[in-house]
C-alpha cells in the first residue's frame, strides 16, 4: 500500500472519533429542531394570536372594515364587550394580545368629513421572549392598513361618486424596476435585497462553522501528537516530513468536507424553518424576476463557490497547522485559535455591514488580504455574475495556502517543532525542552 495512504488512513482514524460524530449529529439535530420549532411556533402563534374586535358602530362601514380585515390571514374574534378595560380583563380573552375598538359613530363621522379613529390595543408581556411581539406588531400594521384603505374607499364613494376609489386613492401608482447589468425587470428592490440577503447570510454561517471546526480538529491532532510524543517517533522515522504535513492536511480536509455537507444539511433545515416564518414568501414571489435578472446561482456557479470554500478551508487548515505546532499543549488550543478567529470574524462580519465596493482602500485592503473573505463573498459575486473576482479570489487563496504549507513544512523539518512555543495571554508556561 502507498505510504501516503497508510498515513492518511491513520490520520482519518484518529480524527474521526465517536465523540466527533456524536457532536456533529447533535449539532445537525439542534439546527433542525430550532428551524422546525421556529416555523411551527410562528405558524401556531399566528393562528392563535387573532385580533379581538369590539364593533361599537355596527354600521355598513364597520361591516366593510371587518370584511376587509378578515380577508387577510388574521382571524378576527368579535366581542360583545363595550369597553376595552372589561374586554382585556375578561377570562375568555386572557390569552389574546391584540384588540380593536371600532368606535360608535364612525360611519357618520366619515360621511360628514369629520376625523375619527380606529383604536388598536396591544397587551405587551414584559417577560415574553421570541418573535411573538414583533409578529403582533406586524399583524396590526397590516390590518390597520387594510382598514384605512377600506375606510378611504367608503369616504370616496360618497364624496366622489362615479370614480373608482382605487384610482382616486392612487391615480399614478409607482412601479419599481431593478436593473442588473443592463437587464431590467419589474420587481421591488426590497424583494431583490431580501432574496440576496437570505442567500448570503445562510452560506457564510455554514462556512464559518466548518472553518472553525476543521481548524480546531487539526490543531488538536498536532498538539495531541506533540503531547503524546507520537510525533517524535514519526520524526525519527525515515518518512519524508512533507508527507506527514500533507497527509495530516488531507485527512483534516476530507473530514471537513464531510462535515460541511452535514452542516449545510442542518443549516438548510434551520434556515428553511426561519425563512418560511419570515420572508420566504416574499423571496419566492420575486423568483422569476430574479432569474430573468440573472441573480440565481447555476450549477457551474455552485461549483465555483465550492472551490472557493475548499481553498478557504485549506488556508485555515494550513494556518491552524502552524498554530497547532506552536501550541504548548492540547489545553492551549482554545487560546491558539485566537489568531485564526480574529481575521475570520472580520472577514465574516464586516462585509455584512460595509459595502466593499464603495469602502475605503484601507478597509478593502485589509479584508481582501484575509483569504477567508473571498469565500464569504463568493456566493454574492457568483449571483451578480462577477465571476472574475471569484476566480481571482480562488487564485489568491491558493497562493496563501501554498505559502502556509511551505512554512508548515519548514517548521516541521526543523527544531522549531519541538522547541518553539507561541505563548498567548493565559497559556501555561512550560520549559521548551528538558
Partner 1 sequence: MDALNIRGLVKKYGDFEAVAGLDFSVREGEIFALVGPNGVGKSTTLKMISTILTPTAGSISVFGLDTVAAAHAVRSVISYLPEEAGAYKNLTGREYLDFMAMVFLRDKSRAAEAVAYGAGLSGLGARLDDKIKTYSKGMARKLLLARAVMIKPRLAILDEPTSGLDIVNGYEIRKTIKDLAAGGMTFLISSHNMAEIEFLSGRIGVINKGRLLACDTPAALKSQFGTEDLEEVFVRLTQ
The only residue of 40, 82, 138, 237 in contact with partner 1, by rule CB under 8 A: 237
d(CA 417, CA 354): 40
Looking at beta carbons only, is 89 or 237 nearer to partner 1?
237
Region from 190-198, 229-237, 255-263, 378-386 binding partner 1, contact rule CB under 8 A: 229-237
228, 298, 300, 406: which one contacts partner 1 (CB under 8 A)? 228
- Give the angle 20-418-323 at the CA atoms, nearest 5°: 45
Structural contact between residues 105 and 57, judged by C-beta atoms closer than 8 angstroms: yes
Judge contact between 344 and 372, C-beta under 8 A.
yes
Q: Which residues partner with 186 through β-bridges?
A: 177
Of 13-21, 60-68, 111-119, 194-202, the window that binds partner 1 (rule: CB under 8 A) is 13-21
**Which cell is 15 given?**
480524527
Rank residues 185 and 328 by Cβ distance to partner 1 and give the closer one: 328
Choose which of 235, 285, 346, 366 interacts with partner 1 (CB under 8 A). 235
Q: Could you give the 3-state DSSP secondary structure of residue 178? A: strand
Interface residue with partner 1, options 160, 193, 363, 432 (CB under 8 A): 432
User: Quick one: DSSP state of residue 183?
Assistant: E
Nearer residue to partner 1 within complex by CB, 52 or 417? 417
Give the one residue of 238, 360, 425, 426 binding partner 1; rule: CB under 8 A: 238
By CB under 8 A, the residues from 392 to 421 that bind partner 1 are: 414-415, 418-419
Instruction: Give per-residue burial for 209-240: e unless 16+ CB within 10 Å, then b.
Output: bbbbbbbbbbbbbbbbbbeeeebeeebeeeee
Q: Does 92 bind partner 1 (CB under 8 A)?
A: no
1 belongs to the binding site for partner 1 (CB under 8 A)? yes
One residue of 10, 41, 64, 242 binding partner 1 per CB under 8 A: 10
- Nearest distance, CB of residue 19 and partner 1, angstroms: 10
Contact set for partner 1, span 300-359 (CB under 8 A): none
Q: Which of 348, 370, 350 is nearest to 359 (CA)?
A: 350
Tell me if 234 contacts partner 1 by CB under 8 A.
yes
Nearer to partner 1, 146 or 235 (CB): 235
Position 232 contacts partner 1 (CB under 8 A): yes
3 binds partner 1 (CB under 8 A): yes
Please work out the total of residues on this chain that contact partner 1, with binding judged by CB under 8 A. 28
Q: Which residues contact 99 (CB under 8 A, 6 or more apart)?
A: 51, 52, 53, 54, 79, 84, 87, 88, 93, 120, 121, 122, 123
Q: Are 36 and 123 in contact (CB under 8 A)?
A: no
Residue closer to partner 1, measured from CB, 15 or 61: 15
Residue 234 Cβ vs partner 1, minimum distance, rounded to whole Å: 7
What's the rounded Cα separation, in Å, for the pair 149 and 158?
14
Written as one string, the DSSP assignment of 188-252 is -HHHHHHHHHHHHHHHHHHHHHHHHHHHHHHHHHHHHHHHHTHHHHHHTSSS-HHHHHHHHHHHH
In the complex, minimum distance from the CB of residue 320 to partner 1, in angstroms, rounded to a whole number: 20
Residue 83 or 232: the one with the smaller Cβ distance to partner 1 is 232
Distance CA 192, CA 167 (A): 28
Q: Looking at 40, 48, 89, 230, which residue binds partner 1 (CB under 8 A)?
A: 230
**Site for partner 1 contains 281 (CB under 8 A):** no
Give whole-number Cα distances, 331 to 211, 316, 337, 391, in Å: 20, 20, 11, 38
Q: Which residue lies nearer to partner 1 by CB, 30 or 432? A: 432
| Of the residues 37, 122, 233, 406, which one makes contact with partner 1 according to CB under 8 A | 233
Nearer Cβ to partner 1, position 241 or 364?
241
Residue 306 or residue 414: which is nearer to partner 1 going by CB? 414
- For position 433 contacting partner 1 by CB under 8 A, the verdict is yes
Cα 145 from Cα 142, distance rounded (Å):
5
Region label for 426, one of left (φ > 0), alpha (ψ between -120 and 50) or beta (otherwise): left
The helix or strand, by DSSP H or E, that contains position 102, with its residue range, turns out to be strand 98-102
In which element (H, E) is residue 186 found?
A: strand 183-186
Q: State the nearest-atom distance from the C-beta of 209 to partner 1, in Å.
A: 24
Rounded (5°) CA angle 153-156-157: 85
6 part of the interface to partner 1, by CB under 8 A: yes
Q: Would you count residue 14 as binding partner 1 (CB under 8 A)?
A: yes
Task: Enumerate binding residues for partner 1 (CB under 8 A).
Answer: 1, 3, 6-7, 10, 13-14, 17, 227-230, 232-239, 414-415, 418-419, 431-434
Amino acid at each position: 500500500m502507498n505510504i501516503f495512504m497508510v498515513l492518511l488512513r491513520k490520520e482519518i482514524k484518529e480524527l474521526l472519533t465517536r465523540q466527533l460524530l456524536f457532536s456533529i449529529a447533535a449539532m445537525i439535530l439542534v439546527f433542525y429542531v430550532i428551524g422546525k420549532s421556529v416555523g411551527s411556533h410562528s405558524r401556531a402563534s399566528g393562528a392563535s394570536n387573532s385580533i379581538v374586535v369590539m364593533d361599537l358602530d355596527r354600521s355598513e362601514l364597520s361591516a366593510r372594515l371587518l370584511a376587509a380585515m378578515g380577508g387577510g390571514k388574521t382571524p378576527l374574534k368579535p366581542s360583545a364587550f363595550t369597553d376595552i378595560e372589561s374586554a382585556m380583563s375578561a377570562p375568555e380573552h386572557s390569552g389574546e394580545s391584540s384588540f380593536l375598538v371600532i368606535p360608535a359613530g364612525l360611519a357618520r363621522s366619515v360621511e360628514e368629513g369629520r376625523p375619527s379613529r380606529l383604536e388598536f390595543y396591544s397587551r405587551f408581556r414584559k417577560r415574553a421572549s421570541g418573535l411573538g411581539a414583533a409578529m403582533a406588531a406586524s399583524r396590526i400594521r397590516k390590518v390597520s392598513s387594510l382598514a384605512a384603505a377600506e375606510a378611504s374607499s367608503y369616504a370616496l364613494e360618497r364624496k366622489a361618486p362615479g370614480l373608482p376609489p382605487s384610482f382616486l386613492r392612487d391615480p399614478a401608482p409607482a412601479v419599481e424596476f431593478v436593473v442588473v447589468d443592463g437587464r431590467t425587470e419589474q420587481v421591488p428592490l426590497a424583494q431583490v435585497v431580501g432574496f440576496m440577503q437570505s442567500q448570503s447570510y445562510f452560506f457564510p454561517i455554514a462556512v464559518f462553522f466548518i472553518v472553525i471546526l476543521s481548524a480546531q480538529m487539526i490543531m488538536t491532532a498536532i498538539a495531541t501528537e506533540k503531547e503524546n510524543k507520537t510525533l517524535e517517533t514519526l520524526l525519527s522515522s525515515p518518512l519524508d516530513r512533507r508527507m506527514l504535513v500533507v497527509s495530516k492536511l488531507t485527512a483534516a480536509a476530507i473530514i471537513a468536507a464531510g462535515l460541511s455537507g452535514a452542516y449545510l444539511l442542518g443549516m438548510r433545515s434551520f434556515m428553511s424553518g426561519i425563512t418560511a416564518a419570515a420572508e420566504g414568501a416574499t423571496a419566492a414571489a420575486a423568483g422569476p424576476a430574479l432569474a430573468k435578472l440573472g441573480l440565481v446561482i447555476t450549477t457551474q456557479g455552485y461549483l465555483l463557490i465550492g472551490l472557493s470554500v475548499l481553498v478557504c478551508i485549506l488556508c485555515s487548515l494550513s494556518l491552524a497547522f502552524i498554530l497547532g505546532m506552536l501550541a504548548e499543549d492540547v489545553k492551549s488550543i482554545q487560546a491558539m485559535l485566537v489568531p485564526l478567529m480574529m481575521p475570520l470574524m472580520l472577514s465574516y462580519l464586516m462585509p455584512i455591514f460595509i459595502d466593499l465596493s464603495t469602502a475605503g482602500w484601507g478597509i478593502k485592503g485589509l479584508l481582501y488580504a484575509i483569504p477567508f473573505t473571498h469565500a464569504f463573498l463568493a456566493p454574492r459575486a457568483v449571483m451578480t455574475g462577477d465571476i472574475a473576482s471569484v476566480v481571482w479570489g480562488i487564485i489568491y487563496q491558493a497562493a496563501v495556502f501554498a505559502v502556509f504549507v511551505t512554512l508548515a513544512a519548514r517548521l516541521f523539518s526543523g527544531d522549531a517543532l519541538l522547541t518553539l512555543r507561541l505563548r498567548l495571554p493565559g497559556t501555561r508556561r512550560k520549559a521548551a525542552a528538558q
